[in-house]
A and B are shown apart, each in its own frame.
Chain A
Amino acid sequence: MTAADLGAMAPYSVIAAAVAVGLAALAVRRSHAFAASLAFAALAAASALAALEAASPPGRVGTLFTLDRYSLFFSSALFAAAAFVAVFAYGYLRERTDGPEELYLLLLSAALGGSMLAAASNLLSLFLTLEVLSVSMYALVAYVRRAPESLEAGLKYLVLASVSGAALLLGAALVFYATGDMRLPPAPPVPLAGPDALVWQAGMLLLLAGLGFKLALVPFHMWTADVYQGSASPATAFVATVSKGAALAAVYRVFAGAAGEGGAAYVALAVLAAASMLGGNLLALLQTDVKRILGYSSVAHMGYLLLPVLAGGPAGAAASGFYFVAYAITMLAALGVLSVLPGGGELAEASGIEDVRGLFRRNPWLAGVLAFAMLSLAGIPLTAVFVGKVYLVVAGAGAALWGLLATLAAGSVMGIYYYLRVVVALFSRPNEAAAGEARVLPGAAVALAVLAVALVWTGVLPATLARVAAVLGG
């Protein structure tokens, strides 16, 4: 690694340094406000640095990472998402737990692992960064440890994530065995026949399984609703945006184009995409809890997001970048609202559909943001995901993926049903037993306002984001 390489890694170094500073500060004096502001400042700075660097991307850095426009775009987005999570976490933890400071360190290290996963261009760094992300997340998911749901979610996540880590490691080993090459995207062995090719195909499928767990693609989706529901809402927001986005960028890096049409991994990707679109939406239909709905709907949205991976090329890169950012803004807004709603008990959250019924009467602003987020997820105009969906369909049509496009249409129609159920509940007559007033700290209020504006801005004037997304493939 040269000095220039170190400079190029500046966005990531900032986060690593912040972890060290935060840890040292804890030894001196515990301060929730300091820990939260340190995390927020570091993440915001890292996001800005990554965005600046994307103007003239340095390309491959050392042997392990590639900082191109795509990875820097995702890194910047993931840092920004984590910064929002930090803001929501501050208000949430102040109410609910003692000793909240360490959460921000976990948040920082998880964000670091996630964004470096997006930049990994070697099987070694892929596994390493994925584990940094996963290990931080085990504790993050179970952080409110007095709440049994939180512990249950943490345990489920731990078991399934370690299984997926093992699958990924085995896949990496097989791919390396077949080709003797650890670079990403994995080059197929030449000639593509014989036992080596078989091992390579098996390795690619295991890599897909490992990353598929992180994305919660069907059939690796079992953990998703429980973890979404059980975790603290800010942690759920982290799972839904940072963790998903990092895994998505990795899937794009490993599989876009390289898998080759007709290859085992290509077919598996297509099958997983279709199964996730249908399965996620079908399972979400049955839920009565907003966080569980968001969990299963995220399965479907990750299925949609495999379309640009299969399509590849500049259109695919633009579509995956645009859609992910639109989706992340929406999910942060939705889970941000849920994180500030007062729950029934000391630790409980008010995330059932019955809990948010009539919220519009009690708190029109929060209800408005949540309603817009739901409409965005449903792909309704004036919101970000609507434009994202157009991007996906354009990319899919360019690659003639008619079957998956039809599945996407079917899945979206199903999605309408449960998203609108939530929105109608928001505007209906309130429940008798509704909990007290929401106490929204100024920071969370500003964050929600920013997210709501971004959500509508991206839906009405998509050119701002489209300009950035357009060059991702180049």
Chain B
Amino acid sequence: MILLALLLVPFAGGVLAWAAETVSPLAVRWTALCAAALELVVAAVAWFAYPAPAAGWPPWVAQFQAEWVPQLGISFHLAADGLSLALIALTGFLGVAGVVASWREITQRVGLFHFQLLWALAGVTGVFLAADLFLLYFMWELMLVPMYFLIALWGHEDRRRAAMKFFLFTQAGGLLMLIAIASLYVAHGRQTGVYTFEYSALLGSPAALGASVWLALGFVAAFAVKLPAVPLHPWLPDAHTQAPTAGSIVLAGLLLKTGAYGFLRFVLPLFPAASAEIAPYALWAGAAGTVYGAFLAFPQRDLKRFVAYTSVSHMGYVLIGAFAGSRLALTGAALEMLCHGLGTGALFMIAGALMDRAGTRDMGRLGGLLAALPRMNAWTTAFVLASIGLPGLGNFVAEFLVLAGVFSVSPAVAAVGAAAMIASMVYGVWLLYDVFQGPAPVAGDADASRLPDLRGPEAAVLAVMTAGLVWLGVYPQPAVSAIEAGVGPPDVPVAAAPARAARTAAERAEAPAGVPGGARERAPR
């Protein structure tokens, strides 16, 4: 039941927030803030109320199931483990951040805006809770629509095009996933006589284990677009740049995570054999993403575009971690999701606040703001340091785990990933110099010294985010043990069979079945 509450809070909150517009815009903001905060609280309660995971895999701590469309074998099945609850807590928190960031920025159609914001959060929550593939697709598509309107109606100068690009990319991926889901459903039904979309029934089903790579690729298409994996990323810089601040926070902090979650929860466990075949390509796509994102961040003069490209880089690590085939790397990938959600959410919040004050996102026209905005400078420094992987902050732990995990599989990928971290230091320092610590531009159009610094609520949210990153960086063990059991396929050992994923497909075909350990054991034949 508590999972149902997790889903209902943002849905109902959105409707209430819209209705509150008849009272005043302030009522809308407070309603939305309370709904998002409540989501966070309920997620925490769900975790602490059910401390012992159920037997079996995934280690659900809570479930909710109701009949939905029995004619098609669809049930309304929600289930959560540590990973889902951590991500839902992140959802609630970034919801709070989004409402706070919109407090001054959004003045038009306030009720509708917060309705869309909360429904986007609801869709994301639904994806994190779905234990039925139809429900997954339902929620997957549901979160797109409010996101589209957030960008298209409240975004910046080129909003329509960016919103449309975002929708078309994600919709194409989603439809391929639908075809894959339907094929899996039919194949499972033919082989077992039971037609069902139930996740736990399809997990380990002969149809899924023997499924061709094409079937897995249908899922991969949807998740890789969302993640995004290079070269499916072109929607991301536009969407992040044009979205209003809250939209950017939700996009970067949460929507990208649904792609990563999809890999960890669905692709790897459902299709172990196919995943192993895809792994070499995915690893290199991830490595390419880390470098590509970092290098494209260099020349950006638009602050939000800059942060968007760093996201491409960070999500490259998640992709590497997901397909490295070791529990170490999988845990790193899951941790990176949380850290990136906090860190990039914060950077977008700062970018929004800066734009609100200086009236521009152009880093060429910003500069020398250290004197005027000392507090903002301090927080920005903290999050930039997190982003470039400073030890003691969460990203370092996550990226280290990923690289350590992938090293045994493919040293080359690990080397490329590590090299990208160097690039990230350069762009990080560059950002700080350009915006805050360097000289002011000669032709500054506003009197920079009059700009108001961060407001209390903004600073409070950023402080919590920093605390989270420090906690994940200094003492990550509680978080690791909460999410570790639920990531990836159940039978990846802590030290995975070395070099499995790096082998070529031809070698694998000749190799005798039953390579000890790893996903191959579950394959038929």
Contacts and interface: CB of A to CB of B under 8 A. Distances in A.
Interface of A: 318, 375, 379-382, 386-387, 389-391, 393-394, 396-398, 405-406, 408-410, 412-413, 416-417, 420, 424, 427-428, 461-463, 466-467, 469-470
A409 B142 contact: no
A462 B148 contact: no
Interface of B: 67-72, 112, 134, 137-139, 141-142, 144-145, 148-149, 152-153, 160, 164, 167-168, 171-172, 175-176, 178-179, 182-183, 185-186
Given A409-B172, A412-B175, A427-B149, A463 B182 contact: no
A427 B137 CA distance: 26
6 contacts: A375-B145, A398-B186, A409-B175, A428-B153, A462-B68, A467-B71
Contact of A393 (B112, B141, B153, B179): B179
A397 B185 contact: yes
B142 A390 contact: no
Given A393-B178, A394-B182, A428-B153, 18 more contacts: A381-B141, A381-B142, A390-B134, A394-B186, A397-B186, A398-B186, A409-B175, A409-B176, A409-B179, A410-B172, A412-B175, A413-B168, A420-B152, A424-B149, A427-B149, A463-B68, A463-B70, A469-B71
A418 B208 CA distance: 36
A83 B182 CA distance: 35
Given A390-B182, A416-B171, A417-B168, A463 B141 contact: no
Contacts of A406: 179
A466 B71 contact: yes
A465 B504 CA distance: 49
Nearest to B190: A398
Contacts of B68: 461-463
A152 to B, nearest CB: 33
B212 to A, nearest CB: 11
Those 3 A-B pairs whose CB atoms lie nearest each other, nearest first = A409-B175, A397-B182, A466-B71
A412 B171 contact: yes
Most B Cβ at <10 Å: residue of A318, A375, A394, A427 = A394
Given A381-B142, A386-B141, A466-B71, A420 B148 contact: yes
Nearest to B159: A424
A416 B186 contact: no
B71 A394 contact: no
Contacts of B134: 390
Contacts of A386: 138, 141
B147 to A, nearest CB: 12
A393 B178 CA distance: 7
Nearest to A382: B142
A465 to B, nearest CB: 9
Nearest to B152: A424
A423 to B, nearest CB: 8
Contacts of B179: 393, 396-397, 405-406, 409
- The CB with the most chain A CB atoms within 10 A, among B137, B175, B179, is that of B175
Given A382-B142, A409-B175, A427-B153, A390 B70 contact: no
Q: Which of A318, A380, A398, A409 has the most CB of B within 10 A?
A: A409
A424 B186 contact: no
A424 B153 contact: yes
A393 B197 CA distance: 14
Nearest to A424: B152
Contacts of B164: 417, 420
Contacts of B142: 380-382
